[in-house]
Amino acid sequence: MENKEHIISILVHNKPDVLARIAGTLGGKGYNIESLCVNTTTKYEISKIVMATIGNQATIARIENQLQRLVDVIQVDDLTNVDSIHREMILVRLNFAEDKKEQIKKAIDTYKWKVIVSNDAFVILEITGDKPQIDLALARLEPLGVTDITRTGIVALDLKG
Amino acid sequence: MKLKGSQILLKMLEEEKVDIIFGYPGGSVLDIYDQLYKSNIKHILVRHEQGAVHAADGYARATGKVGVCLVTSGPGATNTVTGIATANMDSIPIVVFTGQVPTALIGNDAFQESDITGITRPCTKHNFLVRSVEELASTIKEAFHIARSGRPGPVLVDLPKNVMATETDYDPASIKIRNYDIFHKPAPKKMAQVLEMLTQAKKPLIMTGGGVILGKAAAELTELARLYQIPVTGTLMGLGSFPGTDPLWLGMLGMHGTFYANMAVSHCDLLIAVGVRFDDRVTGTIETFAANAKIIQIDIDPSSINRNVVVELPIIGDTKATLRDMIKFLAEHNYTPLPTERSEWLKQTAEWREKVPLTYCQNGQVIKPQYVIETLRKLTKGNVIVTTEVGQNQMWTAQFFQFDKPNTFITSGGLGTMGYGLPAAIGVKCAFPDKQVVDIAGDGSIQMNIQELATAAQYNISVKIVLLNNGYLGMVRQWQELFYEKRYSHTDMSYAPDFVKLAEAYGIVGLRAIKPGEVEPVLQKGLSIDKPVLMDFQVSREECVYPMVRPGESISEMELGTREMIN
């Protein structure tokens, strides 16, 4: 069985320590969390955690079972093998160094990047997409001189309807 | 009705029908102890918090009810960790109440503060820090529900001092908790598969585990095995879930399992595993474990399935309900085992039993530890609840005692906690004051919680300690003998107190046997005294537990001991 990235969606009661319990359960059993996204759902008492982890099918099944044991966990779904959409977001600051200014403006036009803040000194961009799209954007941003960046974990929804 | 937090705690304990608490007071729980002073709930003052948890655990294992303990913050709380981890590994329902510094001081490194919910997160089923008195009653109710439902386990409730001293409205009828339990009803399709697999099987075997005892399913398991003449083996935690004197019983399997049980597992073509988790001490090398068998696994916890051993038919469900469904389904579909094939299989297991029986050799002037256990079994006719410490004493008890009833063998299986047996026996005896309760101990283990002799003495909790005293950390020494060329590195414990004098110093009775002829009279005398008794049996120093499967080997490859040993 090959190792690959799995996107796991976990519905939980929004209780103190719930994230620590989930992270501790995985860490204590020797599994690594590659990326993580947590927030409340439309109900404040219920949160959704979307987590990326790497393993083969048997490992992932074990992770799901271990998570199901937790009292605050309501539901666990592996979104990897079902039709689902995945998104990440980055916020990037590019400083307008004299030699880069024109290059940066041209790239923003070409790639239709969304500008959140722009002044004389720098620009902050918001870019969303799935993992390959974000990785591509990062490759394009790199020569422009990224001065700061923050990247979310993956959020995902299945297409079951 | 307006009540203080400490009063609500006691009211809720009464609601949960708690009749006894094992505890140790301290600064953060003074308000609670002040309420206990006026309460009808019995409190046993232990001498170390670890002892409180083991006592609550022993109480829970013997009764099937939730055991309760109460300790103070900081070191009081951290001293409970080994006890909690012990209960967690064996899925034992207990609720541990810990004091905590006032909420305003949490996080300040206050005097006797510890982040006990953080520390115990990985070794509890769940835990709570009660942040306000308003959430106290529902949290306690939820804690008991979580401890006893589904796959049981320990729950810790951390109680800040100010929450205990604050008043709020208390109305037991209005307390609501959410239901977290997901009950899996076995699908009829699975029962059809069971029937098909059993029909095809020529050499079926049942493997029973702790889940059968926890699920109160011993009667169903016994009925299934006897109805269809299926031989039964069990894990350490499963002992007592099938009568140890029944001809179908093959004894324990695994590292110190019987030759015939390990051979049966290795040769069976269908293994019905009920309430087990395939621990490494049970399976030996995974690749060769039950290599010729299809496996049906019944367990309430999905995480126990396909974890170590891959099974053909997993059934997630309560062991009692599932076995009952199975018995009904098999009867409705007129399942009958093929008579010749089944009798050949039973003949085969009997041959293995005859070839290498479980045995030892009581010759000479030195007491053999197995002889003490067999004599105890003979004198009590098995009508006794036995706890053990951990190591050789535990394995010999598992091999030789022949437990007939569930909840009568109380031992730390998963964690293997030395010092468990004495406080656990105290907990059991508190639950069943009229029953004979015996801790079969080793001289190493007993010293880890020896202070609890004072607890037994204070309340005249007349537990009987059968000390198999070989002056060694016997099981570690055995491994050194077999795998480290007899380099007994730091396992000689012959520098020890005179246990008879020690018992007397604590105010209990101490007896000693040195020669084999003294074993029976000492046991008879010790068992007849209505006081705590420590019986010091000076046993053969270098006796080994056999059979033994070397770590990392297949369980069909066993060391059987010398010819003299197996006669």
Q: Do B307 and A62 touch (CB under 8 A)?
A: yes
The string of pLDDT tens digits covering residues B234-287 is 999 999 999 999 999 999 999 999 999 999 999 999 999 999 999 999 999 999
Tokens standing for B417? 């906690």
pLDDT band at B185 (very low <50, low <70, confident <90, very high): low
Residue among A71, A74, A78 with most chain B CBs within 10 A, to mutate: A71
**Distance from chain centroid for Cα B450:** 19
In the chain, the amino acid numbered A141 is L
The residue from B395, B475, B535, B548 that is catalytic is B475
The pLDDT assigned to B567 comes to: 34
Q: Give the ipTM.
A: 0.89
CATH class name, domain B188-355 = alpha beta
Alpha-carbon distances, residue B557 vs A79, B259, B353, B498, B553 (angstroms)? 44, 9, 16, 40, 7
What are the structural domain ranges in chain B?
2-174, 188-355, 369-546
Is pLDDT at A112 greater than 60 in this prediction?
A: yes
Q: Do B122 and A65 touch (CB under 8 A)?
A: no
**Residue carrying the six token digits 């909690």:** B84
**Residue carrying the six token digits 């140790």:** B24
> B91, B250, B243: which is closest to B155 by C-alpha?
B91
The string of pLDDT tens digits covering residues B327-356 is 999 999 999 987 888 999 999 999 999 999
What are the structural domain ranges in chain A?
4-81, 85-158
Cis peptide before B547 (omega within 30 of 0): yes
pLDDT band at B186 (very low <50, low <70, confident <90, very high): low
| B409 tagged catalytic | no
Q: Do A28 and B307 touch (CB under 8 A)?
A: no
Check: CB of residue B425 under 8 Å from CB of residue B372: no
Check: CB of residue B468 under 8 Å from CB of residue B393: yes
Can you tell me the distance from the alpha carbon of B480 to that of B541, in angstroms, rounded to the nearest whole number? Answer: 14
**What CATH number does domain A85-158 carry, 3.20.20.80, 3.30.70.1150, 3.40.50.261, 3.20.10.10?**
3.30.70.1150
* Beta bridge partners of residue A38, listed in sequence order: A49
Tokens standing for A119? 């002044």
Domains A4-81 and A85-158 share a fold: yes
- A10-24, B383-397, B524-538: least confident range: A10-24
> B84, B67, B24, B97: which is closest to B427 by C-alpha?
B67
Residue among A43, A69, A76 with most chain B CBs within 10 A, to mutate: A69
Q: In what order do the strands lie in the sheet with A33-40?
A: A33-40, A46-55, A4-13, A73-78
Instruction: Please compute the mean of the pLDDT values over residues B83-88 and round it to a whole number.
Output: 98
CATH class name, domain B2-174 = alpha beta
Is pLDDT at B564 greater than 50 in this prediction?
A: no
**Distance from chain centroid for Cα A131:** 8
Is pLDDT at B183 greater than 90 in this prediction?
A: no
* Beta bridge partners of residue B214, listed in sequence order: none
Q: Mapping DSSP to helix (H, G, I), strand (E, B) and coil, where does residue B420 land?
A: coil
Can you tell me the distance from the alpha carbon of B445 to that of B421, in angstroms, rounded to the nearest whole number? Answer: 8
**What CATH number does domain B369-546 carry, 1.20.1440.130, 3.90.550.10, 3.40.50.970, 1.10.8.60?**
3.40.50.970
> A103, A79, A89, A96: which is closest to A11 by C-alpha?
A79
- A61-70, B190-199, B243-252: least confident range: A61-70
B472 DSSP assignment: B
Distance from CA of A83 to the nearest CA of B (A): 25
| B525 tagged catalytic | no
The residue from B49, B220, B374, B543 that is catalytic is B49
Percentage with pLDDT > 90 across chain B = 90
Identify all chain A residues contacting B180, using CB atoms and an 8 Å cutoff: 71-72
The string of pLDDT tens digits covering residues B300-316 is 998 888 888 899 999 99
Angle at B50 between CA B44 and CA B53, to 5 degrees: 60
| Radius of gyration (C-alpha) of chain A in whole angstroms | 19
**Fold category of A4-81 in CATH:** Alpha-Beta Plaits (3.30.70)
Can you tell me the distance from the alpha carbon of B408 to that of B178, in angstroms, rounded to the nearest whole number? Answer: 34
Is pLDDT at B565 greater than 60 in this prediction?
A: no
The pLDDT assigned to B204 comes to: 97
Tokens standing for B217? 């399913």
Can you tell me the distance from the alpha carbon of B367 to that of B467, in angstroms, rounded to the nearest whole number? Answer: 12
Is pLDDT at B566 greater than 60 in this prediction?
A: no
Q: Do B126 and A17 touch (CB under 8 A)?
A: no
| Radius of gyration (C-alpha) of chain B in whole angstroms | 24
The pLDDT assigned to B338 comes to: 79
Instruction: For residue B185, count CB atoms less than 10 angstroms from its CB and return exposed for 0-12, middle for 13-18, buried for 19 or more.
Output: exposed
